[in-house]
Chain A
Amino acid sequence: MDTTGSYPLIKLTVGALCTIGLYSVLYKETKLYRFFEHIFLGLASGWALYFLWGETLKPTWWDRLVGTVAEGTNPEVPGYWAWAFLLPIGIMAYFVFSKKHNWISRVPIGIILGLWSGQQVQVWFTRYGAQMENSMKPIVPNTWSSFIVPADPEPGALYPSQAIGNIVFLITLISAMSYFLFSFETKSKFFNKMTLWGRWLLMIGFGAIFGSTVMTRFTLMIDRMYYVFIEFMWQGLLRRP
């Protein structure tokens, strides 16, 4: 980060103060923390409003409604009155705040839900279809020339180490799925053991996910410390490289 000149230093100082103010919640929720929290909320809301108009509503709705004049290499574009129909539909959503007329807000919500639902069949299959296809894996090796995959593997070959990996995958998939069969009572010992094994594997999975999440939280904290102690204090205030 460029920390030369007075303006970047002011920026860094404000950022560091805000960071320390927000991190003060670790000690206790104080008025100082609330103050900085409200600054952030206000800034984020103001920025969002500006962007929603400037980047979205104006170019994709207002300009198309009223048209645009010729400017530079951009030709004149006539407005199209039908875009005006979107305004009352949008305003209807705000009736959610009215106790008497809040039913009106269900009209735009219904439109959004309809559009959403219509997409879901295709979306679901695009998301999970490839994964279902990928879960059908071969488990019998078709070459014994090497146990593990060599640096230059034969095309289409399934090495024993890959087959073992696929078997582990299939056992995990079937046992984890069997854990979710709640519709009938299971009396088979084999099946009960499989669901127990599925539960263990799920716990291992959740543990890995939790570990990854903790790593993210640490990284975010490390970055803030880098900002306060290296970018602001070391490079900004003390002018060290």
Chain B
Amino acid sequence: MANTGVWDKLQTVDRRILYLLLIVFATVSLFFKVTVPTKPGEPVKDFYRSVMDIPEGKTVILQSDFTQSTRGESSGQMEALLRILMRKNVKFALLSVADPQAPLVALNVIRAINQERKAKGERTYVAWEDFVNLGYFPNAEGTANSMASNLTTAMAGRRENAPGKGPTDVFQSPVLQGIRAVQDVPAYINVTGSKTSNILIERLGKKVPFLAMVTGVMGPETLNYYASGQVKGVVIGLNGVAEIETLMDKGLKAENGHPAVAGFEGQINLGRGTGYYLALHACLTLMILAIVIGNVAMVVTRRKK
């Protein structure tokens, strides 16, 4: 048998060495404050246009279905969305169906963005006045069906602490004033780490403009719904976060019959998406290198044998 030493070894590298390399690549890249340029795609542009089109003072329903397990993607999406909603003074009703931990995780993100706003001397979002936490609903399909047919029945019994009143029916809050059906809100936004966006599309249909922020795993499937108009805009994974942060920073020029949309100049726009983007590219480069080297080694070994 021919001696294929190095090439054989390259095909049998211990997986733990690859893990270590991956961790080193990712960690070292995080310390470099380099903004990798990105060109936003149509799904993210449509998402941005739709959110920026929501009139000031209106209420949207924000279904947050992620926990710490998808923090890398979903948290960045939620942060970008909250920054836009709060800057535009859009109220929101928060609910979760995917996991009992989801409402607390969403409230933590709201708290973090509020701290950011407070540090800049901006008005913070107050529970009851600016947003209400409708809580956790354990049956995604049943909840979506119920909301589609009657929002007040679906949310019956849900209470939130009103200033000076204690636990009060959420429909008495300024956030849900005049809202009795899903059709009454200008947008239904789902930030999800699971397939709850599909369930909402199936049950809510075209009753309300639906916007989704999904993980990379759910991305390709969700694009089908975007192409058919069932979803008005989609932000997919970390790439989507970097794209929407770019749009928030630079705005959107007039194109394809759509008017120009302004960005938020001089404000904190670049966050988790842009921060992790270099590390993602470093990891992907490592993976591509590993695949190329492994395949070259395989071909060389076969030829020598």
Which residue numbers of A lie inside 8 Å of B, CB to CB? 1-2, 26-27, 44, 47-48, 50-52, 55-56, 59-60, 63-64, 71-74, 115-116, 119, 123, 126-127, 130-131, 133-134, 149, 151-153, 155, 205, 208-209, 212-216, 218-226, 229-230
Contact = CB atoms under 8 A, between A and B. Distances in A.
Given A55-B100, A74-B167, A220-B70, A229 B27 contact: yes
Nearest to A60: B157
Contacts of B142: 115
B257 A27 contact: no
Interface string B161-193: 010011111001000000000000000000000
B26 to A, nearest CB: 5
B276 A219 contact: yes
B126 interface: no
A74 B215 CA distance: 40
B216 A215 contact: yes
Residue of A50, A74, A126, A219 contacting most chain B CB atoms (<10 Å):
A219
A55 B72 contact: no
Contact of B257 (A134, A153, A214, A229): A153
Given A72-B168, A212-B216, A223 B276 contact: yes
Contacts of B136: 51, 55-56
B169 A216 contact: no
Interface of B is mostly: helix
Contacts of B31: 230
A59 B73 contact: no
12 contacts: A47-B100, A59-B158, A72-B165, A116-B141, A133-B228, A155-B257, A216-B216, A219-B72, A222-B72, A222-B280, A223-B276, A229-B27
Interface of A is mostly: helix
B117 to A, nearest CB: 13
B30 A56 contact: no
Contact of B203 (A26, A126, A155): A126
B55 to A, nearest CB: 25
B280 A59 contact: no
A215 B157 contact: no
A149 B238 CA distance: 29
A152 B72 CA distance: 37
Interface string B221-260: 0001101111000001111000000000000001111000
Given A59-B159, A72-B166, A153-B256, A2 B22 contact: no
B284 interface: yes
Contacts of A229: 27, 30
B218 to A, nearest CB: 9
